[in-house]
Amino acid sequence: MKKITARETEILQWIRENPLISHQELAEKAGITRSSVSVHISNLIKKGLILGKGYVTGGSKPVAVIGAVNIDISASASAAFRKADSNPGKIRVGAGGVAFNIASNLALLGLPVHFISAFGGDTHAAFLKHKCFERGLDISSSLTADTASSSSYVCINDEKGDMVAAVNDMDIYEHLTPEYIEKKLPLINKSALCLIDTNIPAETIAYIAEHCTVPLIAEPVSTHKAVKLLPVLHKLYALTPNKTEALALYNASRQNSLLRTGSQTEAKPALAELARFFIEGGVQRIYISLGEKGLFCADKTGRCRVKAYVPENTDGVRSGAHISRQSLIKNTTGAGDSQTAAVAWAVLKNMSLKESGFAGIAAASLCLEVNEAVNDNLTEGVLYERIQKIS
C-alpha cells in the first residue's frame, strides 16, 4: 500500500463513512482550510485511494476482520531471562492485538480492510484509533463503549525473543454482541472474505459462523480461547492454529480437560491424524503452525509440510550452525498473525494449498526480522520475492 499521511488517512476515513461529504465539511472536521482539503484529496486521488467525483474508493474488494486491537506492552530481556527476578531489557508500547496485526498485514499487502473492533472511553482509545488510521484500516463499523477500558496486553519475551508469559485485559469485547454484529452483516457479506480472532465472545463467533456467507477464516489466539471454535468448525473455510491450540481443540472434542498439561488422559496424535480431525470436522483448509519446524497444511485432497525459513545474515551468507538464533530473529511476536494474513491473501489469490503455505511461511519470516509485531516493509512485491526464494 502506498504510504499516506496521518491527515490523509483521517480524511479517507471520513470519506468512507460518507462518500458525498463536502470539502467544507471535511475542512470543519479537520480544522483546516478548504484549499488544504483540496490538496489532500488530490494526493489521495494520485495514490489511487479515491477515484474522484463522489469520492468512490478504489482498490480490491474489502476484507472484513473482526477482533481485538489493544495497547500492546512488550518487554524483552537483553540477557538470559531469570524467572521471579527483575530482568534488564527493552520495553515498547504500541498498538497490537491479533486481529489488528492481521488487518495491518492485509492492508500492507494492498487489500482494503473493514476492521470491526471495540474501543473504550479512555485516552488509550484515541491512540488506538489513530494507529488504525495510520494503517489505513476502515474502523467506521467498530464500536466505542464510553464506560469501558480499552483492551490491553502485556507480553514478556526472553533474550531470544520468545514469549515467556503474557496477560491481557480484554473485557471490552463483550460489547461485540451478536446483536451488534447483526447490524454489520450486509458489510461483512459483501466482503471478499471474513477473518475473526477468538477474543470476541463465543456466542458472537457462533452468530458470525451461522450468518456469514463469504469464506470464513479463524485464528484461535490461545489454547484457552481456541475452544470457542469447536462448535463452528464445520463453518470454517480455514483455521490457523499452532500445534498447542490444535491439540486443545482435538482434546476438547473428546471432553478432556484443556488445562491438564501433561495429563496421561490427553491424546497426542500425529500431525496427519490431527489434520484429519479438522478436515473431517468440516474445515476446508487447516494450517498448523509448528514454529521453527514450519507449517503443516491439509485439505480434502492432501497435505504438505512447508519448512520454516531462516533469515539471511546482512552479508547475504546463509546462516549456518555457528550463527546464533538470537542474531537472526528479532522478535517472534506477530509472526503467527503475519502468517495468517498471508494465508488469507493467498486464498484470495486462488493459490493452491502448498502455495498458500509458502505464503504463510514467507510472511512469518519477514516479521521475524523486525522488532515490531508487524513489518512495515511488507508489500505484495516483497512477499512474492520471499515466496520465490523459499519455494
- Checking DSSP bridges between strand 302-306 and strand 295-299, what pairing results, if any? antiparallel
The rounded distance, in Å, linking the Cα atoms of 328 and 278 is 34
pLDDT reported for residue 120:
96
The pLDDT assigned to 391 comes to 84
The dihedral sign for the CA sequence 150, 248, 373, 341: negative
Look at residue 328 and tell me whether its pLDDT is greater than 80.
no
What pLDDT, in 10s, does the model give residues 122-151?
999 999 999 998 898 999 999 999 999 999
At 319, the pLDDT band (50, 70, 90 cuts) reads: very low
The cell for 18 is: 460518507
Q: How many Cα atoms sit within 13 Å of 48 on the Cβ side?
A: 8
In this prediction, residue 163 carries a pLDDT of 86
- pLDDT (tens digit per residue) in 249-282: 999 997 644 444 455 566 788 999 999 999 999 9
Contact in structure between 217 and 65 (CB atoms under 8 Å): no
Residue type, 289: S
Instruction: Please answer whether residues 128 and 95 qualify as being in contact, where contact means their C-beta atoms are separated by less than 8 angstroms.
Output: yes
Tell me, what's the pLDDT at 215?
97
- What gap in Å lies between CA 196 and CA 124, rounded to an integer? 23
**Is the pLDDT assigned to residue 77 strictly greater than 90?**
yes
Q: Where is pLDDT greater, at 9 or 164?
A: 164
Map grid coordinates 489466539 to a residue: 221
Distance CA 152, CA 336 (A): 19
How does pLDDT run across 169-183, given as a tens digit for each residue? Answer: 999 999 999 999 999
pLDDT on residue 32: 93
